[in-house]
Amino acid sequence: MNWSGLDPDETQVHVSNLGDSDVAEIGESLHLFNKLELDGDEVNRELFPLPSLRGRLEQCALEVHRGCGICIIRGLNPRWFSIEDNIIVLLALASYVGDQRGVQNSKGDMLSHVIESKSWTVPKDKRHGIHTNDSLPFHNDMGCEILSIQVRDRAEAGGYTCVASMAAIYNDLLQSNPRVLHTLAKHNWPIQSSKTDPPFVLCPLLEFHADNLLISMDPARIGPHPLSRNGSIPHLTLDQQEALAVLQQVARKHQLRLETQPGDIIFINNLSLLHSRESYRDSVSSSRHLVRLWLRNTRLGWAMPPSMRMPWDAAFGEKARRVINRNYPIMPMPEYMECKYSNGTAAFVPDDDIEDDKDDGGKG
């Protein structure tokens, strides 16, 4: 996954274009699934068979884990489906790329709506980053293996998702600033964690494990939050502040802007690629709207180092298995509840406390 947006010929995002027969097959399986009167948590490959399309979806999974790290399924139109059926189709196609879905917050939400709703009255600085139209820095969704995004609608202007290969960033820094790599790999980064005492854990942001280079980094979850009155979380050192700034700079240098359209379903290797979002402007009649899933492929998935297992465990591990009620909200929350503590870049640390219960999830 060592590619750079500086070289368009080198950066070939895997796009699988659906034809009429593929769309018809999806429609037939959707009809059969709906007759079973099951809910979203029961969507899987067995109950939503796609015999003709299956091979291409499995190839998408290979591209995410062993290819460029990005795959886009293209050819669906959200207007063809009801609100509920759009969710079912997303879950069904995603189940062929990642057979395990991640828990995104302590409330048990399994998907999140990335949107700035015109009905919300809470000021932007009191919301999570994905629920504003501001730009978001490069980050990844801590704990997630495959980030899946369904594009429901685009902004009138801006709002592009950009991705950057951590391998390309690493190789650049190895030549230009190896000290930053050393800082990123130290096990001394304070990651906010409300259910530990003290309310943080010390982890690296970058680690080689089982022959893979992994990154786990959300700037808004590192160090003390500006609104927190808890003084126990360490402030970042000057070296750490510099490392984050340089990481952002080099990620922007190698970034690739994803040109997407409504109906696209995007799959991103969240352990090897960083992603960001440009600021945007909505039209009077529509809003940029993405639906986000966290996925894991139990056959192809990468081994997770112990230092990065805390958020992973909350999404996919033992903590996730203890979540009884799993929710699939089909619409964004009608009223935004102000967060008491964190308004992170994109996603909650999945073991957060009551702040999670006031929102539908985090990053995008």
Per-residue pLDDT tens digits for 87-140: 999 999 999 999 999 999 888 999 999 998 777 878 877 777 788 889 999 999
In a domain? residue 364: no
In a domain? residue 1: no
Per-residue pLDDT tens digits for 294-329: 999 999 999 999 999 999 999 999 999 999 899 999
pLDDT at 71: 98
Identify the domain containing residue 199 by its residue range: 14-358
Q: What is the mean pLDDT of residues 27-55?
A: 98
In a domain? residue 3: no
Which CATH number is 99's domain given? 3.60.130.10
pLDDT at 119: 77
In a domain? residue 95: yes
Local confidence band at 350 (pLDDT 50, 70, 90 cut-offs)? very low
> Can you give the pTM of this predicted structure?
0.92
**Average predicted confidence (pLDDT) for the chain:** 90
In a domain? residue 9: no
In a domain? residue 43: yes
pLDDT at 11: 67
Least Cα distance to 302 among 24, 57, 64, 9 occurs for 64
In a domain? residue 6: no
Structural domain tally of the chain?
1
In a domain? residue 363: no
How many angstroms separate the Cα of 216 from the Cα of each of 8, 140, 241, 269, 298?
26, 6, 16, 12, 19
**Taking a C-beta distance cutoff of 8 angstroms, is the pair 265, 93 a contact?**
yes
Q: Name every residue whose Cβ is closer than 8 Å to that of residue 249 and which is 6 or more positions away in sequence.
A: none
pLDDT at 227: 64
Tokens of 359: 């929102």
